[in-house]
A = this chain, B = another copy of it.
Amino acid sequence: MSIVVQKFGGSSVADPDKIRKVAQNIARGYDKGNQVVVVISAMGDTTDDLINLAHKITDQPESREMDVLLSTGEIVSSALLTMALHKLGYKAISLSGRQAGILTDSSFSKAKILKVESDRIVKELNDGKIVIVAGFQGITHDSDMTTLGRGGSDTTAVALAISLKARVCEKLTDVDGIYTADPRICPDARKLKEIGYDEMLELTSSGNKVLHIRAVELAGAYGMPILVASSFNDSPGTLIHGGDLMEISNKVRGIAHDLDVAKVTLTGIPNQPGIAAAIFEPLAKAGISVDTIVQNAFMENVTDLTFTVSRGDLKKANDVINAIARDIKAAEVVTDAKLGKVSIVGTGMQNSPGYASKMFTALSKAGINILLITTSEIRITCIIEEAKVKEAILALHRAFELEKV
C-alpha cells in the first residue's frame, strides 16, 4: 500500500456541508487502497476572525500567544473532519501538529520545521485509520505551540509526505490545477498537465497563490511530487515534479500576476558604500519584507533607489524610510500604492534574449507603461499600474500563444 498525503484548504472546509463533501472525497481515495494522511487548514475565515479578536484586545499581540490562539483553528477543523469520516463509517483520528510530530524552531508566527517524528501517524495508519493532521502548526523543543506562517499548511503536507515517503502530496483546492494565467482574468488560459519545481517556484513568487512557496521549495529539495487538483471534482490536475517534462513545445510556461504591490522611491541619495545597508537593515528589523529593488545612478555622486513592498506594509515602510532619508540627507521620498506586477515564467527562456523584447513590445502595443523590470534566469517581471494588470495578462497570453499546447 502506498501513502498519499492530501492537503485541503480552508475554503474546502468552510462549513459542515463542505466538510462532509471533503470526507467523501477522502473516503474515495482510501477505498482505492491508499493509506491516507490529510492535512487540513482552518475553516473559511477562522484565522482572520481570530486575528481580529486578538486585535480587539491589543494592537501588538505577542507572537507566542498569537500562535496559541491561531493554532486552535486547524484543531477545530481536524476534529470536525474526523467526525465526518466516522459518520461515513471510516476509522479516522485527528492529530494536532504536536501529535503528528511536527517539531519546529521557536520563531513564533513563522516557525520553520526542523524535524518530523511521524511514529504516531505510522501507528495510526497501521491501525487502518485515516489520519487527519491539523496543518500550519508545530511545537518547539520547549513544548510550546508554533505556527508556520500563512500558507504553512502546504508546508506541513509536503513535510509529512517526505517524512512518510508518500507516493504523492496532493493539494486539493478550489482551483483544479495550475493555469497558463489566472482563468478568472484570461478566458483562454489553459490548464497545465505538469510543471517543474523551478517554474512553479517562479510562478509562486510572482503572485500565483495556489501553493505556498516554502512548500514548493521543500518538495523540490526532496523531489516529492505535488498534484494540484480540485477538492470538488475529479478533473485531472497539474503535477509538479522534477523529472523530464513532456510538454516542452511552449517555452513560456505561464503568466503570474500580483495586485498587492506598493512602491517606495528615495531620490538624491549620496552614492557611497553602506548606504544600501543603512536603508534595508531598518526595514528588515521592522519586519517589512522587501520584494523588488532597483537602483539607478544618474550622476556620479547621487543615486535613486526604488523598492516594492506589499500594500499592508507601505505605511510602516514609509515611516522607516522618512527617518532614514533625514539621516542620510536624501532629497525626497515618493510612494505609490496602486501598482501591480505581471511575470512570464518558463525554463525555456534561459539564454534566449528574445523573450524580454517580445514581452516589452506586447505591453507597449497595449499602451502599458513599464515602471520597473526585474528578471531571473527563467522569469521576467514588469511592475505596472494596477489598473493595467488585466490588459497586460491578456496581451502577454496572446503574444506568447499560451492557449496552444
Contact = CB atoms under 8 A, between A and B. Distances in A.
Can you tell how many copies of this chain the complex includes? 2
Contact of A75 (B16, B72, B80, B144): B72
A65 interface: yes
A333 interface: no
Interface stretch (A1-9, A82-90, A250-258, A384-392): A82-90
A62 B83 contact: yes
Contacts of A56: 16
A19 B55 CA distance: 13
A42 to B, nearest CB: 10
Q: Chain A interface residue count: which class?
A: 35 or more
Given A76-B72, A99-B143, A143-B99, A65 B86 contact: yes
Given A16-B53, A57-B20, A99-B143, A79 B83 contact: no
A69 interface: yes
A218 B53 CA distance: 35
B68 A50 contact: no
A94 interface: yes
Interface in A78-119: 78-80, 82-84, 86-87, 93-94, 96, 98-99
A54 interface: yes
B80 A54 contact: yes
Interface string A57-76: 11001101110110110011
